Amino acid sequence: MDESVPLKQALADYGNIWSLNYDSPYLMYPFTSPHGKSVAGIMTFSPFEITSAVRRELPIESGVMKFVDLDRCYSVTRMNVENGKELVLYNMHLSAYTSDGTIANEQLKLLVADMSSEYEKGNYVICGGDFNKDILGDSSVYFGKSDIEYTWAQPLPEGIFNGTGLTLVAPLDEQNPVPSCRNADGPYHQGQYVLTIDGFIVSDNVEVVSSQVIDTQFAYSDHNPVEMTFILR
């Protein structure tokens, strides 16, 4: 399932890359008012020239669960750095609502192995996106318990970054914690299930200056934006 394809499935401009994440002919959920046809992608914008990009397919659920776990991918874009190295950016959206979390873990392992390989070549490596996992371990510690309990966002596998040269960057201000995601089963309200599932992974030669969730109070989406400032060392 580790399929790399050139940009026949992505649209490239000078510094903009769009990759098809899933194309569902008819999404049957929610059952009372189905989404219908759904096409979604992930977009990378850059003020710097992108020298190449690929879309890499991620493993997904099989059987009946495939109709819930839509096709997933991550994009890999490359930019030249003045010191002769490359900045390799990963844009991803991992699976949610899987049967037991195994597929999501396999997706993450594939991504981490790919990133670690690039770091071993001496490149700068940064990933950002939706992990669909509770990257704080237990977000309720910071945001309180919700009025309804859910199990779809599990913690990251223990030791997933050991020996890889990579580090998870979870956007969190402990003095003023802001969640990055809410459950999308209804309009936003106090007591709704909120957590942080959006963040970054960086290689050890990238210094993170700051990372935070931008508090829009979910005005535009079931996610709040996240941002990170960094220095290439």
Q: What is the pLDDT of residue 62?
A: 57
β-pairing, 124-130 vs 86-93, is parallel
Q: What is the pLDDT of residue 184?
A: 84
Residue of 11, 197, 8, 211 whose CA lies nearest to 97: 197
Note whether 191 and 149 are within 8 A (CB). no
Q: What is the pLDDT of residue 38?
A: 77
4-232 — its CATH code? 3.60.10.10
* Residue 139: partners with Cβ closer than 8 Å, 6 or more residues away: 153, 179, 194, 195, 196
pTM (predicted TM-score) = 0.85
Grouped pLDDT means (10 residues each) for the chain, 233 residues:
43 65 73 79 89 86 52 88 97 74 84 97 97 95 88 90 98 96 88 96 98 96 97 96
Q: What is the pLDDT of residue 120?
A: 98
Q: Look-up: residue for tokens 């991992």? A: 94
Tokens of 5: 């394809």
Q: What is the pLDDT of residue 31?
A: 77
By residue count, the chain amounts to: 233
What are the extents of the domains in the chain? 4-232
